Amino acid sequence: MVNDLYKKMAMAVIRQYNLSDADDWDSLPDNLKAFFSDNLPYNVVVAPILRKMKSEGASIKQMCIRTGLSVTQVRYILDSAYFKSYVLRYRKKRN
């Protein structure tokens, strides 16, 4: 079962990447609902939202309020995203 906050954040990601023209969770195609609810944990769903908010200058506290995560969780997700996207790419170029 998917809670309301998960649905809200999933819809934000769907709109951010133009994955569907649906206005709300209930009008999404079943395969897209299943993909999000069965395969992706909440921290993976909110990671692109947090990166976007960070690039727009949002504070950690603002990110916590919007996503319902703790300061530690937000920092961990942002640090993980940074490492995966920049450091690993740099290592591949170097080798």
- Tens place of pLDDT per residue across the chain (95 aa): 578 899 999 999 999 889 999 999 999 999 999 888 887 888 888 989 998 999 899 999 999 999 999 999 999 888 876 656 655 665 566 55
pLDDT at 62: 96
Q: How many CB atoms lie within 10 A of CB 81?
A: 15
> Alpha helices of the chain — where are they, by DSSP H?
4-16, 30-39, 42-55, 60-67, 71-82, 88-94
The confidence score (pLDDT) of residue 94 equals: 58
Confidence at residue 95, expressed as pLDDT on a 0 to 100 scale: 54
pLDDT given for residue 11 in this prediction: 93
The answer for residues whose C-beta is within 8 angstroms of residue 80's C-beta and 6 or more apart is: 47
